[in-house]
Amino acid sequence: MADAVGSIDTPDAQDEVPEAQKKTRKGGKRAKKGPLKRLALFYRQIVAELRKVVWPTRSQLTTYTTVVIVFVVIMIGLVTVIDYGLSHAAKYVFG
């Protein structure tokens, strides 16, 4: 029994391309530019992305900074209390 035309096992005749006619790519767009041009492009893209950033106002920045400092102070206090309690518990147990 013969396979159907275009089956996976036997490709069609028009699908076969001789090796000499196949085009090979060497790196695409990056191979065409030197390292300094790629570096310059990278920095241009950085500047373009930084222009898209929505920077906070001074009042927002002050608010965010205050919230972070208050949170850090609370965490320092919590860790200090836990450390103090665990050290006294260790002295009580061990001696």
Which pLDDT belongs to residue 53?
93
Is the pTM of the predicted complex or chain greater than 0.75? no
Q: Which residues contact 30 (CB under 8 A, 6 or more apart)?
A: 38
The pLDDT of residue 95 is 81
One pLDDT digit (tens) per residue for the chain, 95 residues: 555 565 566 555 565 555 656 666 565 555 577 889 999 999 999 999 999 999 999 999 999 999 999 999 999 999 999 999 999 999 999 98
**Would you state the pLDDT for residue 47?**
96
